[in-house]
Amino acid sequence: MKLATTLTILVTAFTITVVLAPIAIPLLRRLKFGQSIREEGPQSHLKKAGTPTMGGIIFLLAIIATTLITGTMFNLFTTQTVVLLLVLVGFGVIGFLDDGIKVIFKRNLGLTSLQKLIGQIIISIAAFMLLRLGTFNTAVEIPFTGYSIDFGLFYVAFLIFWLVGFSNAVNLTDGLDGLVAGTASIAFAAFGVIALFNKQADIALVAFAITGALLGFLIFNINPAKVFMGDTGSLALGGALAMISVLVKAELLLLLVGLVFVIETLSVILQVGSFKLRKKRIFKMSPIHHHFELSGWSEWKVVLVFWSTGLVVALIAVMMEAFL
């Protein structure tokens, strides 16, 4: 893929998002699709109540449009592109239903965990079946070692775990203005570059379309946010990020590229486990970004530190892929 092609994809997705957002945000506000805020959360967040949510629709439409337009233009539309869009849109629909229940019934809980899990499993299996129509490698490589483990048909279990795990990890991270939009744009850009290393221009197409759309969305999502992505956006992004790592055969590398999401998830697991076993909390609040807020960090400081962390680990991963 040429540099001009990459820039065209990025600019197209960015532009569509920036054009759609000023139309969609007032519409979401008129529909009273406002965010509910947890009473037990940081008190500084209470002022965010009512901010339009479900904004993930904005960048999802931009990603789909960009993929269809530039994919056709540059002849990059393939089965793998379809699989990526299936996961992105499928997980986005689950998030949309979850958000919809929250805003309609004015509560902070939407679909049950089981309902979301069933939907995610169905989409993951459908993606696996589409991949198996071609010659899909079911081995999982151990980064930078040359070793791999072939799961065979059991790869579907790994795929379900990977997609469900990271979609929920990104969802947990989505608690501060611009946090997920920034960290996810960095992660997708990194995998876009890795896809180019592998000469997988079709995968790079979607990765850079998502990057461009998220950068456009970030304009409206940084503090103070004019719109939140909601589960519509975060579940879609997490599923798509995991799926891209699968398609470029760098599944475990996602643990490094997505280190911020991993840490956020581990903080919740440790907090819950500690409280159940010892009746003591490790953090002031989990996910860990709230711990830093309650420790006196401003929201901007937390977000900038997490963005920086995401950028550093993404650069390390890309350089190691390039030179090892």
**Cα separation of 196 and 305, whole Å?**
28
The first and second tokens of residue 144, run together, are: 């930078």
**Cα separation of 171 and 166, whole Å?**
8
**Cα separation of 60 and 318, whole Å?**
26
Task: Give the dihedral sign, CA 49/39/165/173.
Answer: positive
Kindly state the DSSP code that residue 48 receives in the 8-state scheme: G
Residue type, 99: D
Q: What is the dihedral of CA 219, 220, 221, 227, to 10 degrees?
A: -170
Residues 6+ apart with CB under 8 A from 72: none
The annotation places the binding site at 171, 231
Tell the residue number behind the tokens 């608690």, with chain if given: 175
User: How large is the C-alpha radius of gyration of the chain?
Assistant: 19
Task: Give the dihedral sign, CA 99/100/106/112.
Answer: negative
The annotation places the binding site for Mg(2+) at 171, 231
